[in-house]
Structure 1
Amino acid sequence: MERSNYNLIDLLKYICAILVVAVHVNPLKDLSEWANFVVINIFGRVAVPFFFVCAGYFIANNLKKRGDVYIKDYMISLMKTYIIWSIIYLPFGILWVQSNLDIPIILYPIALIYAFFNVGTFYHLWYVPALVFSVLVTFFYTKKFSLRSLFIWSLILYTIGAAETYNAYLDPALQSIVASYMGIFFTTRNGLFYGMIFVVIGFIAAQDNWLTRFKKNGLAFFICFSMLIFEAFRMYNTDGYDFNFLFMLVPLSYFMFQWARAVNYHRDCRKLRDLGSLYYFTHVMFIELIPMGLGLIHQKQLFDSGLFRFVSVMLCTHGLSMLITMIRKFIKHRQLSTQ
């Protein structure tokens, strides 16, 4: 496949990274509850499933080209990145534990070790352990069993995980079970219940079968997105924990990826893709640091404005991401010049 077929995917990954920022800052909440809902719980909920599908697809493709050795190289690279960002966010994680968990300080190391392997040392880092789990399960499972059967199992697990979103529709006994689970594990948004189905979809997208040769991906994507809007508004004002588990995200993520893959978009968007990845990892520190800085000059109330939150966080995030990009280029140039 030509590089141009991935350009729109790269652009969409960049847009999705910005949507993740929007989800975390509620940019329109003080202006319009309804508009904010549309941004974060319809458009914003598409982002992370798309990331998982993209990861699954490109991993499956590279496994075809390089064989099983690729999975080792990929995991080493991913874990290096995760460890670096986990260390950077460790102070924020400790502050969160102090503010939200009533546990003795001697148990902090246990809490942080648990967080590292499950939800991340800070809340946005959950994606990496979820991706690691999903990829490894998919890789080893498909050594002996079919991808189709894993899709069925992962769909069942996704349905179980959806209890946190569809909590209002459960009977009281099940609600009690969900509440107990959430009290211990905080969320079902992890590799087992959430990430795996989208990674599997990415693996499916990398296969050459009747489904991947389907020609109406754009139309199917539009229909799925329309149904996602209906599902989201059907859940509006219900007593769920969040809107992570919308069922239409499953088919939508597949057709969105296949549509983007089929469009022959000619602008090279790899730089935007790389910026988007940095946006994802860096933006949360500014959600924490900006109000602290404003507090020093007695202007913390500015951060109460959703638009101010979004613009200020995005500007700082973009600035730091560009700086990291330039540092990487400088280091790479120095390494090449010394060879």
Structure 2
Amino acid sequence: MKTFKYNGIDCFRLIAAFLIIAIHIGPLSSINNTLDFGFTYVLCRIAVPFFLMTTGYFILYPVAVEGNDNSRFLAFLKGTLILYVVSVILYLPVNIYSGAFNKSFSIWGVIRAFFLDGTFYHLWYLPAVLIGCIFVYLLCRKVNIKNVFIISLFLYLIGLFGDSYYGFIKNMHFINYFYDIIFKVTSFTRNGIFYAPVFLVLGMVLRKVKCNMQFKSKVIFFVISMSLMLMEGLLLHYFDIQRHTSMYIFLLPSMFFFFQILLDIKGDRYKDLRNISMYIYIIHPAFIITVRMFVKVFGSMSVFIDNSMLNYFIVSILSLLFAVIFNTLFTKYKEWRNV
């Protein structure tokens, strides 16, 4: 069923899912490492903030700012939690086979993996969005959205020095001691406290404050912001400053203008893309593993992983096919249940 509105948001959901696959494969790595870093670990970093801002814009704002009935918000939290638990179970055999639990198994390790880090490398997003949403919602009940944004911005700044700007503080003993404590609690500052809130709130702000800037101006400022982010990322990489590559200063203005561009693109809305993009996100590591196992069995087919671009296309196509088929079957199942 199609509804007129937000075509840009829906279409980019699918693109963002493929950008996330790129982050986990590095499609240009067999061509040029610097080119791959710039594309994969800088430009593709707009994907996750996009999903967070979408949640802030459509899910959090109505309940946290307008004070609407929170049933939709609670349904979102419940659905995300169920999806996360299912995903954890889905990748449990891989974790057991790889010996991930044997390396640092402890009660705290399990708690940290489930609530903060994610039990598999791509699953960190689900607990991050859950914690981030609850955190922002509770803050909005105490202070206005302006102060919530200031608080989330401050937390992002803290997270920034535990991520892409870590090299500037790692030899400052007092500050580094503070970050050592953080890293004992969580492996990365890219989580539901230091990373997710600012993008959730940014989505809320863009719904509350209407921008009268012309579409052309938004595009120009987005291109400028992304160019500066690319320079920022490449410089940090060149001087070996980064501990991780998720958080950049110019990611914030880039997303501010980019999300507005997407909001301005109106048309027939395709709600199925929301589910399809999420299924791609959940399943694509399974296909990365499947392709590698296929090559391991058939050694002569090593081109499928040696050629990073080919590897990326194969994993993307398999993930898309699975997502479309699963979404179709699941939709039919729900229709059958409602008969």
Question: TM (normalized to structure 1)?
Answer: 0.88
Deviation at 1:69, TM superposition (A): 2.8
Kept after mapping to 2: 8 A contact 1:20/1:44 = yes
Deviation at 1:294, TM superposition (A): 2.1
Change (3 A) 1:227 1:103: closer
Change (3 A) 1:177 1:238: farther
Deviation at 1:184, TM superposition (A): 5.7
1:140 has 2:141 as partner: no
In 2, the alpha carbon distance for the partners of 1:223 and 1:74 equals: 35
In 2, the alpha carbon distance for the partners of 1:99 and 1:80 equals: 23
In the alignment, which residue of structure 2 is the partner of 1:170? Answer: 169
1:271 has 2:269 as partner: no
Deviation at 1:167, TM superposition (A): 1.9
Change (3 A) 1:37 1:103: closer
Structure 1: 5+ residue runs without aligned partners?
none
In the alignment, which residue of structure 2 is the partner of 1:88? Answer: 90
Q: Identity over the aligned pairs, expressed in percent? A: 25
Secondary structure of 2:244 counterpart? coil
Secondary structure of 1:39 counterpart? helix
Kept after mapping to 2: 8 A contact 1:167/1:175 = no
Kept after mapping to 2: 8 A contact 1:161/1:193 = yes
Deviations 1:153-207 (A, max 9, x none): 1111111111221122225124565467446632111011111110011111121
Structural mapping, 1:63-74, within 5 Å: 63=63, 64=66, 66-74=68-76
In the alignment, which residue of structure 2 is the partner of 1:150? Answer: 148
Kept after mapping to 1: 8 A contact 2:132/2:192 = yes
Specify which structure has the higher proportion of helix.
Answer: 1
1:312 has 2:299 as partner: no
In 2, the alpha carbon distance for the partners of 1:140 and 1:214 equals: 32
Kept after mapping to 1: 8 A contact 2:95/2:101 = no
Structure 2: 5+ residue runs without aligned partners?
none
In 2, the alpha carbon distance for the partners of 1:254 and 1:156 equals: 17
What amino acid maps onto 2:114 in structure 1?
Answer: F
Kept after mapping to 2: 8 A contact 1:62/1:70 = no
Kept after mapping to 2: 8 A contact 1:7/1:270 = no
In 2, the alpha carbon distance for the partners of 1:16 and 1:47 equals: 5
- Of residues 198-207 and 110-119 in structure 1, the stretch that sits farther from structure 2 once superposed is 110-119
Kept after mapping to 1: 8 A contact 2:136/2:201 = yes
Deviations 1:72-128 (A, max 9, x none): 2221122111111111112223344x2586336xx3x65334311112221111111
- Of residues 2-11 and 19-28 in structure 1, the stretch that sits farther from structure 2 once superposed is 2-11
**Cα-Cα RMSD:** 2.4
Kept after mapping to 2: 8 A contact 1:5/1:262 = no
Deviations 1:285-305 (A, max 9, x none): 112222123212234733232
What amino acid maps onto 1:35 in structure 2?
Answer: L
In 2, the alpha carbon distance for the partners of 1:183 and 1:61 equals: 33
Kept after mapping to 1: 8 A contact 2:43/2:226 = no
Deviations 1:134-158 (A, max 9, x none): 1111111111201111111111111
Question: TM (normalized to structure 2)?
Answer: 0.88
